[in-house]
Amino acid sequence: MDTTGTLTERRMFRLLWLAVAASVATIALKTVAWLLTGSVGLLSDAAESVVNLVAAVIALGALRWATKPADEEHSFGHTKAEYFSAGAEGMMIFVAAAVIGYSAVERLLNPQPLERVDAGVAVSIVASLINLAVGWLLLRGGRRYRSITLEADGRHLITDVWTSAGVVAGVVAVALTGWSVLDPIIALVVAANILWTGAGLVRRSGAGLMDRALEEDEQKIINDVLAGFAGDRIAFHAVRTRRSGRLAFVTMHILVPGDWTVRRGHDLAEEVETAVHGRLPHAIVLTHVEPIDDPRSYQDTELETTHVRTDPGSESAH
């Protein structure tokens, strides 16, 4: 029984539950900071933490669905569910920016002095440190497990840290200068910054749902592997790739001499699939063997993303 996937999934869920706990803690801390100071910036910061909590819960649901095994209705699995989570988090960031912007404009029109700034700032810094630590863990986990859900939630928390830093700077500036207008101005700047982050998440989510090809470094790995097999009587075309959550799909046509036996062509296909999978363990590789001297084998070359063929003689080992 292969327990690797199950162990990975358990670790991913633990990270998301940690994000939920961090969001609950920071909501409480930032609410206290707002009540102590009366700062609209700190109120907006607390509102964004509420969005973080909702986003973390959505991420849990999406990951739960994405890790379900393939079934009759979803023969390629459910991994794309992660993109819905990332898109939802991007939209949640837009909501947070709108809340911050609205509160900031209202405070610009009706400025108010701040109170107990030192205590409020101290509480907000503690909340930010919690978000920073958990956000870093999520980003590391997202890269390690190739999970856009973890990465999106991590970026959301890191964005919240930048939000808090800007808000704290504004609150301290107001306390030092007495210029109450700085509080809402800083809040507006922070809102613009997190809008940029939200747009990036939505863009990546859309790219995944549209079956965007693998990154250039991964495509180079595939090309290098295929080049090791290609020769005067072996070639590859119609090499296509796509990302689906934590998985990658690679399909290709292998061109071999028409007088080869079925077994020989199958053996080569198995070697190629094993070699690609060895370099990209998260990839599912599908091959189709065709006769290299049949014109019909080249009728779909317009769909190819790469074409691999090396100098004659390199196929002799196969």
Exposure class string for 110-139: b at 16+ Cβ within 10 A, else e:
eeeebeebeebbebbeebbebbbebbebbb
Winning range, highest mean pLDDT, from 227-236, 261-270, 278-287: 261-270
Q: Which residues pair with 252 in a beta bridge?
A: 287
Dihedral class, residue 236 (left if φ above 0, else alpha if ψ from -120 to 50, else beta) = beta
Whether residue 244 contacts residue 77, with contact meaning beta carbons closer than 8 Å, is answered with: yes
Q: What is the pLDDT of residue 227?
A: 92
Dihedral class, residue 94 (left if φ above 0, else alpha if ψ from -120 to 50, else beta) = alpha
Q: Given pLDDT bands bounded at 50, 70 and 90, which one contains residue 228?
A: very high
Dihedral class, residue 264 (left if φ above 0, else alpha if ψ from -120 to 50, else beta) = alpha
Residue 100 confidence (pLDDT) above 70: yes
Residue 89 confidence (pLDDT) above 70: no
Average pLDDT over residues 88-112: 75
User: pLDDT digits over 115-133, tens only?
Assistant: 778 888 888 889 889 989 9
Average pLDDT over residues 266-270: 95
Rounded distance, CA 75 to CA 78, Å? 9
Residue 264 confidence (pLDDT) above 70: yes
Give the length of the chain. Answer: 318
Average pLDDT over residues 250-270: 93
User: pLDDT digits over 181-200, tens only?
Assistant: 777 787 777 777 777 767 77
| Contacts of 103 by beta carbon, 8 Å cutoff, 6+ apart | 40, 43, 44, 47, 184, 187
Domains recognised in the chain with CATH numbers: 4-209 (1.20.1510.10), 216-317 (3.30.70.1350)
User: pLDDT digits over 215-224, tens only?
Assistant: 888 889 999 9
Q: What is the pLDDT of residue 308?
A: 46
- ∠ at Cα 161 (31, 188), nearest 5°? 75
Least confident of 16-25, 171-180, 212-221, 307-316: 307-316
User: pLDDT digits over 304-314, tens only?
Assistant: 555 444 433 33
Task: Give phi and psi for 240, each to the nearest 5.
Answer: -125, 145
Residue 267 confidence (pLDDT) above 90: yes
Residue 241 confidence (pLDDT) above 80: yes
Q: What is the pLDDT of residue 301?
A: 62
Q: Which of 297, 85, 100, 247 lies closest to 185, judged by CA? A: 100
Whether residue 137 contacts residue 114, with contact meaning beta carbons closer than 8 Å, is answered with: no
Residue 277 confidence (pLDDT) above 60: yes
Q: What is the pLDDT of residue 271?
A: 95
Q: What global pTM score does this model have?
A: 0.55
Rounded distance, CA 55 to CA 46, Å? 14
| Contacts of 148 by beta carbon, 8 Å cutoff, 6+ apart | 82, 83, 85, 86, 142, 204, 205, 208, 245
Residue 270 confidence (pLDDT) above 90: yes
